[in-house]
Amino acid sequence: MKELRLMKGNEALAEAAIRAGADAYFGYPITPQSEVIEYLMRENPVDRTGMQVLQAESEVAAINMVYGAAGCGKRAITSSSSPGISLKMEGISYLAGAELPCVIVNVVRAGPGLGTIQPSQSDYFQAVKGGGHGDYKLIVLAPATVQESVDFVRLAFDLAFKYRNPVMILSDGIIGQMMEKVELFEQQPRIAEAEEWATVGKKPGKDSVIVTSLQLQSEEQEKVNLRLQAKYREVEKNEVRFETYQCEDAEYLFVAFGSCARITRKAMEMARNKGIRVGLMRPQTLYPFPAEELHRLAGQVRGILTVEMNAGQMVEDVRLAVNGVTGVGHFGRFGGMIPSPDEILNALEKQFIGG
Amino acid sequence: MTEEIIIAGFGGQGVLSMGQILCYGGVMQDKEVSWMPSYGPEMRGGTANCTAIISDTEISSPVLTRFDTAIVLNQPSMDKFEDAVKPGGLLIYEENGMTRKPRRTDINICSIAAYDESVKMNNTKVFNMIVIGGVLKVRPILELENVIRGLKKVLPERYHHLIPLNEEAIHRGMEIIKTQHQVD
């Protein structure tokens, strides 16, 4: 039975974690993400599904608890906001290195440093390009609605276990705090058979399983790197997700993700009312990036404007994908300021149409 | 139909819950809805606002800078949002505590003495429901019945005995709202 509710993005995401059959949540409060842990504490899912919820003593502790749970083959999730995610980065690199599945939610606020608690997209680089050390990739999902905050939790667990890789959900203060109608999926069973790689105790006659990211022999470490790279190519081949709006006849193209894509869509509607034929591409996966489709679209438009709540991060991936086929510009507000649809339309006209 | 509403006032006036009640009413009437609160330092400093959008079609941006209707419950909110009303749109203000009248001549303007009315009802907590009544009178975007159903969703069950009181407050609001300025 599907249920329709009006929920905050953060609360909907927390409910989705329970319903996705998560075994454990480990976290530490920080605005604008605290509703995730507050909802889980209130809901006390140990009574519903047996899922454990624990407020750790710090973000560093929380991510290492995720490592421990994931090492046992359990479905673990953690959430934080930008400064807290920076603290988790060492653990995230270890999770990627040990090829452990888990879900990490970043409800982004503006930085650098403690910054402000208002919404931002300034952690794109950190999420997509690394953040932690070493040559690794996270699968990064960017919800634009409360509904996607729910659906992507389930998808994130599926992808994490399919590829034995950490998956990040890159939300932000807008998506986390806003309320929308949401359809919740049915409760998924929690207890699953432990996977072969899980450290759940050596059985007689079986080899012992070791979960580690340490390889002191370079020859061995290179094999690990090659295996990771082969996995990332598979991810790039299979898991690209995006949406396009009114691109069929578009002369210009917006590219935007997450909450910014919602605002940009309004700018697109305003532009169309003025007779400017503009479309919108919204990557739902930031890694893997929808480079191929973007390259194809670039061939049919006179210019592309990337709109982000940062000083220009995704625009680098857009330029790589477009590869000079057409002009690529960037419009951004930052520091917790949210661009208005008027500003975005203005930027398009100024940069490309000659206003 | 798309109605883009900003509701602004002091923390404690029920600004955020007004938006939620309208959105829940919208859900009951099978509309698309979106509710976006101000959060953080603004709210901690005493002023609060929220954007509520109710629409027949999919909602693009949850964050807006121009509105069909602004409901302002104190002077700082009027100062901030009077200019954000679209030409031909609607501004509703609470009379109590305002130090100046709105200046716009290209929008519809209504006033409501909701605080005074709530005192007459011996319950200042129903203040925001009186305002909602006023809004629904001049902007009948939702059926009263659906707003009450929405209210049941927002109010915890232990307060459900207060629903008749809230319904009365809505009716009072419908009666006392005054038109100050009208454009064609």
Indicate the residue among A198, A215, A238 that finishes a domain. Answer: A238
Contact A263 B36 (CB under 8 A): no
Any domain includes A46: yes
In a domain, A217, yes or no: no
Q: Verify that A230 and A272 share a domain, yes or no.
A: no
Partner residue opposite A174 with nearest CB, options B23, B36, B60: B36
Residue A83 and residue A37: Cα distance in Å, rounded? 17
Count of the separate structural domains present in chain B: 1
Whether residue B61 and residue A174 make contact (CB cut-off 8 A), yes or no, is: no
Task: Tell me which DSSP letter residue B116 carries.
Answer: H
Query: A118, B40: Cβ pair inside 8 Å?
Result: yes
Q: Return the pLDDT at A206.
A: 87
Q: CA geometry: angle at B42 spanning B41 and B44, to 5°?
A: 60
Residues 257-286 of A with CB under 8 A from B: 259, 262-263, 265-266, 268-269
Of B27, B36, B64, Cβ closest to residue A177: B36
The burial class, CB within 10 Å (0-12 / 13-18 / 19+), for A251 is: middle
Measure the CA–CA gap between B184 and B182, rounded to whole angstroms.
Answer: 7
Residue B155's pLDDT is: 86
Q: How far is B136 from chain A (nearest CA, A)?
A: 21
Assess whether A231 and A273 both reside in one domain: no
pTM of the model: 0.95
Among the partner residues A173, A180, A342, nearest to B33 by beta-carbon distance: A180
Assess whether A255 and A159 both reside in one domain: no
Which of A180, A270, A342 is the best substitution to test chain B (most B C-beta atoms within 10 A)? A180
For residue A150, the model assigns a pLDDT of 98
Confidence at residue B5, expressed as pLDDT on a 0 to 100 scale: 98
Do residues A301 and A233 share a domain?
no
Check whether residue A121 and residue A252 sit in a common domain: no
Looking at the complex, does the CB of residue A173 fall below 8 Å from at least one CB of chain B?
Answer: yes
Chain B CA closest to residue A31: B40
A333-354 pLDDT tens trace: 999 999 999 999 999 999 998 8
Structural domain boundaries, residue A119: 3-187+226-238
- The answer to whether residues A159 and A84 belong to one domain is yes
- What average pLDDT does chain A have? 96
CATH number of residue A301's parent domain? 3.40.50.920
Q: Per the CB < 8 Å rule, is B65 touching A117?
A: no
> Going residue by residue through chain B (184 aa), what tens digit of pLDDT does each one get?
999 999 999 888 999 999 999 999 999 999 999 999 987 666 555 679 999 999 999 999 999 999 999 999 999 999 999 999 999 999 999 999 899 999 999 999 999 999 999 999 999 999 999 999 999 999 999 999 999 998 988 888 999 999 999 999 999 999 999 999 999 6
Question: Quick check: A81 contacting B, CB < 8 Å?
Answer: no
Q: Does residue A29 belong to the interface with chain B, where contact is any CB pair within 8 Å?
A: no
Q: What distance in Å separates the CA atoms of residue B141 and residue B26, rounded to the nearest whole number?
A: 9
In terms of domains, do A232 and A315 share one? no
User: Are A230 and A261 in the same domain?
Assistant: no
Whether A96 and A234 map to the same domain: the answer is yes
Closest CA to A174 of B10, B59, B27, B84: B59
Cα–Cα distance, A172 to A157 (Å, whole number): 20
Q: Give chain B's count of helices (H) and strands (E).
A: 7, 7
Overall domain count for chain A: 2
Of B24, B37, B60, which is closest to A269 when you measure between CB atoms?
B60
**pLDDT digits over A188-233, tens only?**
999 778 889 999 998 898 889 999 999 999 999 999 999 999 999 9
Instruction: Over range A160-181, report the average pLDDT.
Output: 97
Residue A194 counted as domain residue: no
**Best to test chain A binding among B63, B68, B154 (most A CBs inside 10 Å):** B63
Checking if the pLDDT of A156 tops 90, the result is yes
> For residue range A60-93, what is the model confidence (pLDDT) as tens digits?
999 999 999 999 999 999 999 999 999 999 999 9
Give me the CATH number covering residue A157: 3.40.50.970
pLDDT score for B44: 59
pLDDT digits (tens, 9 = 90+) for A13-26: 999 999 999 999 99
CB contact under 8 A, A6 and B41: no
